[in-house]
């Protein structure tokens, strides 16, 4: 709904509109990108608030042994800053963190970041956003870009006795590198991507490794060769080779994976499932262990895990897979429901994240006192994963219902910023002062999303972090091609402007 009948000439001449102020929240991948794209678009009045003392987001928070990206390195890169020096096809976490640090320095982003500054509250008052930090500082902005991510609020399981364990206990995203591991008895709770990588990295370092499996996972084989010095030199001398590789990878991921996840009946998914089954059956020799590792749902119903060595690691003589549920944690270790006490020196909780947090626990108050917590009382949502009604000039990157799956979120964020900056331009040019998704558009989008979600592979019979409180997948339920098309140009009729 557009409440204006014609542009206000005085607004177009308002200096605040010509050079608006932006607040970017978060200095991870999306926040760094936001700062760079704002500068490219000619916006110079902005600040990036980061609650931590360093940048990097997910890659700063997660430093556990074995961490690596499950998207090929040349695809998991900014399109304008390709890196000829990736060491492997799938880069390790420390290398990705160094990449983001290097990009942030080269583009002058670091000087724009207020480190150690957590935004506690954003309130829309008298046409602007009033920002309050946890330390009591204040700021004001015409636009807010929430680049807060979702993989930074650890999900701590409610297990009795965690506080009485005499050894070291920590979440995988809060890895304590001061704790010695060599020759010790280590337990890992969980079987998601983090747990799989940790097991593979630690099994040869520890005396005994016990994996407490909550749900078996399908594992697809991956080949992760190192790039040779000759290949890196070729990339440096011929950057177009990297561009071709990136484009080919994007096409393969889109056509062979991202686009088919939304159709549970796709024969391509049957092929992926068959590959995972063959990987399990050819890799695990012990029939009893093999059946413990065999999931009871279709491959890709959960986030597909890529690993070149997990099955080998879990079959080592010092590794043990425990399927029994955990009864409690005791001073000496973990007691499972069959009564056995698994004595441990270190307990790692690889139990994922609270992925429904998004911008929270930050308090967001929109137009006329509309509280985001109240708007989201039944679960988070956003129009095209970027805008929430009654939150004018407030935009999210990687917001609710955004594309997930094994895809490059850098590509997602670049598309979203192209879209958001067009909405910003609508305001800057004087077309309006405030813009946000309208409620009718939001309700239509949600109805369509919910109906489409039922047809995706994520709704085919498993529990995962893709599933919302209503039992439906929260992920983007259409093809990635459709997302790319939606991000090309906003449908202004779906926005309320004032």
Do residues 329 and 208 both lie within one domain?
yes
Do residues 102 and 187 both lie within one domain?
no
Per-residue model confidence (pLDDT) at position 405:
62
Do residues 276 and 358 both lie within one domain?
no
Instruction: Assess if residue 431 is contained within a domain.
Output: yes
How many domains does the chain divide into? 2
Do residues 166 and 182 both lie within one domain?
yes
Instruction: Assess if residue 230 is contained within a domain.
Output: no
Per-residue model confidence (pLDDT) at position 406:
65
Do residues 269 and 390 both lie within one domain?
no
Do residues 109 and 146 both lie within one domain?
yes
Instruction: Assess if residue 28 is contained within a domain.
Output: yes
User: How far is residue 12 CA from its own chain's centroid?
Assistant: 37
Q: Which of 259, 299, 352, 323 is nearest to 461 (CA)?
A: 299
Contacts of 387 (CB under 8 A, 6+ apart): 394, 395, 396, 423, 436, 437, 495
Instruction: Assess if residue 40 is contained within a domain.
Output: yes
Q: Which of 57, 250, 26 is nearest to 35 (CA)?
A: 26
Per-residue model confidence (pLDDT) at position 221:
92
Do residues 447 and 368 both lie within one domain?
yes
φ, ψ of residue 389 in degrees (nearest 5): -55, 145
Do residues 381 and 416 both lie within one domain?
yes
Running along the chain, 498 residues long, what does each successive block of 10 average in pLDDT? 36 56 97 98 97 95 95 95 96 97 98 97 96 96 93 84 96 96 97 95 98 95 94 96 94 87 91 96 97 95 92 98 96 97 98 78 94 92 96 95 79 96 95 96 96 92 82 89 94 96
Does pTM surpass 0.85? yes
Per-residue model confidence (pLDDT) at position 101:
98
> Is 433 in contact with 11 (CB distance < 8 Å)?
yes
Instruction: Assess if residue 226 is contained within a domain.
Output: no
Single out the residue in 328, 349, 370 at which a domain terminates.
349
Instruction: Assess if residue 134 is contained within a domain.
Output: yes
CATH (domain of 326): 3.50.50.60
**C-alpha–C-alpha distance, residues 354 and 465, integer Å:** 9
Do residues 199 and 97 both lie within one domain?
no
Do residues 199 and 54 both lie within one domain?
no
Dig out the tokens for 101 from the structure: 């640090």
**C-alpha–C-alpha distance, residues 226 and 487, integer Å:** 35
Single out the residue in 321, 349, 377 at which a domain terminates.
349
Do residues 208 and 67 both lie within one domain?
no
Instruction: Assess if residue 3 is contained within a domain.
Output: no
Dig out the tokens for 259 from the structure: 């686009």
Do residues 421 and 321 both lie within one domain?
no
How many other C-beta atoms lie within 10 A of the C-beta of residue 299? 24
Instruction: Assess if residue 312 is contained within a domain.
Output: yes
Single out the residue in 285, 320, 349 at which a domain terminates.
349
Instruction: For residue 180, give its domain range.
Output: 162-218+262-349
């Amino acid at each position: 709904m557009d409440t204006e009948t014609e542009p206000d000439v005085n607004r177009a001449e308002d200096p605040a509109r010509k050079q608006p102020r932006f607040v970017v929240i978060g200095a991870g991948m999306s926040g760094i990108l936001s700062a760079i794209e704002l500068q490219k678009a000619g916006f110079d009045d902005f600040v990036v608030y980061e609650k931590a003392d360093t940048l990097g987001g997910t890659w700063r928070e997660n430093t556990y042994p074995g961490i690596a990206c499950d998207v090929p390195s040349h695809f998991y890169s900014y399109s304008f800053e390709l890196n000829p020096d990736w060491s492997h096809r799938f880069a390790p976490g420390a290398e990705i963190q160094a990449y983001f640090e290097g990009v942030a320095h080269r583009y002058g982003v670091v000087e724009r970041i207020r480190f150690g500054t957590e935004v506690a509250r954003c309130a829309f008052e008298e046409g602007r956003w009033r920002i309050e930090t946890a330390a009591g500082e204040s700021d004001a902005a015409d636009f807010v870009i929430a680049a807060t991510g979702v993989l930074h609020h650890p999900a701590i399981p409610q297990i009795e006795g965690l506080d009485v364990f005499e050894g070291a206990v920590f979440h995988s995203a809060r890895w304590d590198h001061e704790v010695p591991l060599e020759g010790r008895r280590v337990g890992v709770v969980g079987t998601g991507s983090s747990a799989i990588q940790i097991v593979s990295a630690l099994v040869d370092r520890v005396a005994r490794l016990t994996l407490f499996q909550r749900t078996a996972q399908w594992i697809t084989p991956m080949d992760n060769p190192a790039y040779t010095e000759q290949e890196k030199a070729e990339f440096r001398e011929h950057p177009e080779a990297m561009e071709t590789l990136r484009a080919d990878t994007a096409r393969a991921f889109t056509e062979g994976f991202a686009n088919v996840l939304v159709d549970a009946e796709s024969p391509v998914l049957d092929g992926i499932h068959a590959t995972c089954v063959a990987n399990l059956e050819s890799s695990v020799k012990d029939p009893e262990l093999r059946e413990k590792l065999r999931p009871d749902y279709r491959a890709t119903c959960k986030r597909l895990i890529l690993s070149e060595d997990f099955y080998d690691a879990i079959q080592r003589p010092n590794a043990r897979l425990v399927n029994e549920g955990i009864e409690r944690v005791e001073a000496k270790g973990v007691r499972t429901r069959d009564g056995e006490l698994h004595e441990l020196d270190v307990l790692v909780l690889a139990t994922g994240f609270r992925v429904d947090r998004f911008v929270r626990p930050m308090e967001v108050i929109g137009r006329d006192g509309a509280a985001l917590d109240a708007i989201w009382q039944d679960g988070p949502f956003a129009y095209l994963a970027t805008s929430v009604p009654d939150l004018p000039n407030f935009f999210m990157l990687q917001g609710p219902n955004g594309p997930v799956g094994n895809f490059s979120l850098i590509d997602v964020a670049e598309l979203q910023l192209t879209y958001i900056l067009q909405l910003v331009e609508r305001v800057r040019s004087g077309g309006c002062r405030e813009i946000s998704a309208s409620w009718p558009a939001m309700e239509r989008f949600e109805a369509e999303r919910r109906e489409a979600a039922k047809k995706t592979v994520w709704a085919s019979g498993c529990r995962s972090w893709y599933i919302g409180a209503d039992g439906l997948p929260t992920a983007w339920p259409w093809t990635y091609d459709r997302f790319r098309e939606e991000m090309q140009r906003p449908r202004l009729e779906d926005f309320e402007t004032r």
